[in-house]
C-alpha cells in the first residue's frame, strides 16, 4: 500500500516525521523539566543545538536518523514510568529529590548521546553541496 508502512496501519510521514520527532523531543524536555523541579534543580537553559536537533537531523543520513529516533524512543521509555513514579511519590509527600536527581542524570546522559548523532556543520555543508 502506498503511503503506509506495511502491516502497521500507520501513515508514512516523510518530511512530517521531523515534526513528529520535534513533538517527541519537546515532550521529553517538558518531562525532564518536571523531573528537575522535583529534584530541586534549575535545569540548564535549552541551547539552540538542543532545541533545533530534530531539524538538524533532517540533514543526517538515514542510519543516523534511525538511531536518533530509536534513542528518543528509548529515553521516552525511561522517562515515562520514571516521572509517573516520581509524581506518585511526590503526591504522597515522599522526599523524591534523590530519585529525581538520578532520573535527571540519566536523561542528560541519554539526551547527550542522542545529540552526538547530529551532523556537524561541516557534514551538513558537505551534504548540501554533494
- Tell me the CA distances in angstroms from 62 to 6, 59, 69, 103, 105, one per residue in order: 19, 9, 10, 30, 29
| Distance in angstroms (rounded) separating the CA atoms of residues 60 and 71 | 15
Whether this model's pTM surpasses 0.85: no
pLDDT in tens, 83-121: 999 999 999 999 999 999 999 999 999 999 999 999 987
Residues forming beta bridges with residue 11, ordered by sequence position? 4
pLDDT in tens, 49-88: 999 999 999 888 999 999 999 999 999 999 999 999 999 9
CA 117 to chain centre: 12
Q: What is the average per-residue pLDDT within 26-50?
A: 92
Query: Under 8 Å CB-to-CB from 80, ≥6 apart: which residues?
Result: 31
Query: Cβ–Cβ contacts within 10 Å for residue 75, how many?
Result: 22
pLDDT at site 128: 52
pLDDT at site 125: 66
Cβ(6)–Cβ(16) below 8 Å: no
Domain ranges of the chain: 16-129
Amino acid at each position: 500500500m502506498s503511503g503506509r508502512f506495511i502491516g502497521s496501519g500507520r501513515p508514512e510521514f516523510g518530511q512530517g516525521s521531523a515534526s513528529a520527532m520535534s513533538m517527541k523531543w519537546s515532550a521529553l524536555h517538558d518531562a525532564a523539566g518536571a523531573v528537575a523541579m522535583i529534584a530541586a534543580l534549575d535545569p540548564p537553559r535549552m541551547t539552540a543545538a538542543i532545541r533545533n536537533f530534530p531539524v538538524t537531523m533532517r540533514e543526517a543520513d538515514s542510519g543516523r536518523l534511525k538511531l536518533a529516533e530509536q534513542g528518543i524512543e528509548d529515553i521516552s521509555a525511561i522517562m515515562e514510568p520514571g516521572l509517573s513514579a516520581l509524581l506518585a511519590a511526590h503526591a504522597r509527600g515522599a522526599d523524591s529529590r534523590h530519585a529525581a536527581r538520578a532520573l535527571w542524570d540519566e536523561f542528560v546522559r541519554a539526551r547527550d548521546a542522542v545529540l552526538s548523532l547530529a551532523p556537524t556543520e561541516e557534514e551538513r555543508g558537505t551534504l548540501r553541496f554533494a
